[in-house]
Structure 1
Amino acid sequence: MIIYTYPVQTAFTDRDVEMIQAKFSIKTLEFTQNPFALPFYFILQFFQLLILLPKTSHYLCFFGGYHSVLPTFFGKIFKKKVFIQCGGTDAINMPEINYGNFRKKWLKMATVYSFKNCTKILPVGDSLIQSEYKYDPLISAKQGLKNLIPDLKTPIQTIHNGFDTDFWIDFGKARTAMTFITVAKGISNPVRARIKGIDLIEIIADRFPEATFTLVGDTEYKTEAKNIVVTGEQDKIGLRKLYNNHQFYLQLSTSEGFPNALAEAMLCGCVPIGSAVGDIPLIIDDSGFILERKKSDILIRIIMEALGKDFDKSRIKSRSRILKEFPYSKRKKELLELFN
């Protein structure tokens, strides 16, 4: 049995479970993101792992952090393989924007211990291994596991995210011109809003009053812009419908690993405009537009260029990029091979 631990259940973890349970027995153990609940969850997780130990063959963790310490310890003591999926914040140190595991003493210690002592690290993108960050000049350039843990010797294997190309589809219908969408939870928190690039969206919304900008994920976010529409979290069907009603997807994050929503939107025919952080440039490649520096004047020029392109040709290119490079089947194959 595979024990799968994570700090919070997401569509990403659900998809992994779906991939794995077709071939192996898997048990999920959700941890917590509440710092005050940590002592209780460490005790709970210890006894959960102990009780399940006789049936356990592997440990799989989504992100490195507090929740991966005990699975890593159990794996080391009882000679069981431990795989940790590095997803973004666990390979980042950005105190300038209050983001990343490595800016907090105890969380850093938990993350470093986990990555140093697990069997293999599975980043969702190569940028999380080692990167020179240049997008925002106010933020430290040295990011990624090998920069933040210089003596790291644990084997690393990148397994990119994979997407259901049969569900995320372009309906082929005409779309309202000058419509932009982005998906980001928790943006009523100013720190989170900056991380997700909402500050830039506010600027360009003012510059393009005739355009419509839809923010999905947090109804508590307040804006004075009349052309910014804020909606709450959506299920998959709701998201697919929204993507198919918009021409462009904005992924203007200050920090990112391998964003799922970007690829899903591209499969639905949204033309991507993304920041040059994490694996966003790899995902988009030549199917959209990349903002190399966090400068609103450059972004405005990019949007004007994007609006001048033939949308129907561009939407086909966007979908084709994900179909070719990041299908569900590819990730499933690479993930299942770990447990054979």
Structure 2
Amino acid sequence: MVIKRKSICVITFPPMKAGFTPLSNLIDILTSSSNEIYLITGNESYHHFAGNKHIHLYGIFHSKGNGSVNRIKNYICTHLKIAHLFLKIIRKVDVCIFFLGGEMQILSLIPAKLFKIKTVTIVSGVSIKYEKDILSKIVTKLCTVNFNLVDKIILYSPRLINEWNFEKYSNKILIAPRHFLDFSNFNLSVEFSQRSDFIGYVGRLSEEKGIINFIESIPIILKQKPYLNILIIGDGDLKSNVDKYLSQNGLENNVKLVGWSFREDLPKYLNSLKLLVIPSYTEGLPNVMLEAMACGTPVLATGVGAIPDIINDEETGFIMENNSPECIAKNVFRAMKHPNLEHVVENSHSFVNDNFTYNKAVERYSEILHNIQ
């Protein structure tokens, strides 16, 4: 049964494009679990949600800036802007959810606590340890304060408690993936047997995603499979590194680098692949893994985050021991030569169709909101 709440405010730091789908999914779910939804976000995310009649939208603009001093100054200013917007609506809010960088919003969390508003942080991933500058150290401290003060912490899987060293917060942790798929968009449109030898990577081009490991595996893979084609979809801080490596190693003929893909185009790409590789160092529960499975594309991934909850090796996909280039190449060969690969495809397709519907997601979050009350 859906439990209606008076009002919920979702606060994010202005996310990258990769955050639009997770945030959209969360807003869609909460719309069925609340009478009023307030969303405080920024930059392109604000424009993405503009016109959504189901929410009250408040936006700010964040500029990253050049150099550590400007980055820190702009970062603090953005937090102040977000807190200012939140204070305008604070008396209308019963539950405040921090998401996509929201775990750093201490300037909004403190007044929420003072006004006795229930506070929740949804942790979708931990990538801060891959950043080395002073701002990242500040962010780490802010996250620690948030996790200590917030009423509840939502994780996508119980596996993440140990993996992310969250044992000390175990008394406030709730488990609930907010994932669901639009099966009218993500579906099998090209039979697996009709696809060419084409493997791919879809995701942010950043260190924690293992993209450098993946591109360094390509020469090893091509030594054994010289006619294999590789698709890379994504954008991020390491894009120039990826471009440079592909150019220096003469890989342009085998590798297609697409850049960012709109959601409506992604099913077409996924339906062209015989294998999607997710070589991440850390993950929550990657949307693209579920989307690939819905499109009948087997997934090869490192066993991090909630991935092993979904992928049972050689049953619903493939798990690799680590994400070294050599290990990636070895497991690409293993997956593509698997004698029952089409059976793996059928299993994974059935799994996501059974477990990641909109109704299932609404049920999970209705129970979460009930427990928060």
TM-score range, shorter chain: 0.7 to 0.9
Q: Per the alignment, do residues 28 and 205 of structure 1 end up closer, same or farther by CA in structure 2, a change over 3 Å counting? A: farther
Separation of aligned partners in 1, 2:282 and 2:194: 30
Look up the match of 1:37: 74
Q: 1:195 to 1:232 in 2, by over 3 A?
A: closer
What does 1:144-223 correspond to in 2, within 5 Å? 144-146=165-167, 151-152=168-169, 154-164=171-181, 166-167=183-184, 168-173=186-191, 174-185=193-204, 187=205, 191=207, 194=210, 197-207=213-223, 208-218=225-235, 221-222=242-243, 223=246
Q: Structure 1 residues 178, 235: closer, same or farther in 2, change over 3 A?
A: same
1:292 maps to which of 321, 344, 353: 321
Q: CA deviation at 1:71?
A: 3.2
Q: Does 1:119 align with 2:156?
A: no
- C-alpha distance in 1, partners of 2:258/2:209? 15
> Which stretch has the larger CA shift, 233-242 or 192-201?
192-201
Aligned pairs, how many?
317
- Partners of 2:268 and 2:123 lie apart in 1 by 30
Structure 2: gaps spanning 5 or more residues = 1-6, 43-61, 65-70
CA distance in structure 2 between the aligned counterparts of 1:102 and 1:162, rounded to whole angstroms:
33
More displaced stretch, 303-312 vs 232-241: 303-312
Aligned to 1:139: none
Q: Aligned to 2:187, what secondary structure does the other structure show?
A: coil
Q: Structure 2 vs 1, CA of residues 310 and 165 (structure 1 numbering), >3 Å: closer, same or farther?
A: farther
CA contact under 8 A between 2:279 and 2:328: conserved in structure 1? no
Check 1:33–1:68 CA distance in 2 against 1; reply closer, same or farther (3 A cut). Answer: farther
Change (3 A) 1:212 1:42: same
Alignment-mate amino acid for residue 145 of structure 1: F
TM-score, with length taken from structure 1: 0.83
CA distance in structure 1 between the aligned counterparts of 2:212 and 2:364, rounded to whole angstroms: 29
Equivalence for 2:37: 26
Partner SS for 1:242: helix
Deviation per CA, 1:18-39: give whole Å up to 9, x if none. Answer: 1212342111111558334222
- Letter in structure 1 aligned against 2:144: V
Q: 1:251 to 1:195 in 2, by over 3 A?
A: same
**Equivalent residue, structure 2, for 1:12:** 22
Distance 1:127 1:63, change over 3 A: farther
Partner of 1:3: 9
1:98 counterpart = 2:131: yes
Partner AA of 1:337 in structure 2: E
Cα deviation 1:55-86 (Å, max 9, x = unaligned)? 11110111465643133212211111111101
Identity value in percent? 19
Q: What code does the residue aligned with 1:291 have?
A: M
In 2 relative to 1, CA 243–156 (structure 1 residues): closer, same or farther, beyond 3 Å? same
Partners in 1 of 2:282 and 2:116 — Cα distance?
35
Counterpart residue type for residue 211 of structure 1: L
Separation in 2, partners of 1:61, 1:307:
41
Cα separation, partners in 2 of 1:239 and 1:77, compared to 1, 3 Å = same
- Cα pair 2:217 2:329 within 8 Å, conserved: no
Q: What CA distance in whole angstroms lies between the structure 1 residues aligned with 2:274 and 2:234?
A: 19
Change (3 A) 1:153 1:268: closer
Which structure exhibits the higher relative contact order, with contacts defined as CA atoms closer than 8 Å and separated by 6 or more residues? Answer: 2
User: What whole-Å deviation, never above 9, does each CA across 1:114-144 have from its counterpart, x for those lacking one?
Assistant: 111111000122232112xxxxxxxxxxx43
CA distance in 2, matches of 1:10, 1:316: 29
Contact 2:222 2:228 in 1 (8 A): no
Give the Cα–Cα distance (whole angstroms) in 2 for the partners of residues 268 and 330 of structure 1. Answer: 19
One of 292, 299, 312 as aligned partner of 1:265: 292
Greater shift, 295-304 or 156-165, is seen at: 295-304
Give 2:323's aligned amino acid: K
- Partner amino acid, structure 2, of 1:6: T
Change (3 A) 1:269 1:294: same
In the alignment, structure 1 residue 278 sits paired with structure 2 residue 305? yes
Higher alpha-carbon deviation: 265-274 or 195-204 = 195-204
1:329 to partner: Cα distance:
2.4
Q: Secondary structure at the match of 1:245?
A: coil
The CA RMSD over aligned residues, in Å, is 2.7
> Is 318-327 or 235-244 further displaced after alignment?
318-327
Q: Distance in 1 between matches of 2:135 and 2:86?
A: 29
Structure 1 counterpart of 2:354: 324
TM-score for the superposition, normalised by structure 2: 0.76
Unaligned runs of 5+ in 1: 132-142
Offset of 1:279 from its aligned partner? 1.8
User: Structure 2: which amino acid aligns with 1:39?
Assistant: I
**Distance between the aligned counterparts of 1:315 and 1:6, measured in 2?**
36
8 A Cα contact 1:284 1:321, kept in partner: no
Amino acid at match of 1:144: N
2:196 touches 2:272 (CA, 8 Å); kept in 1? no
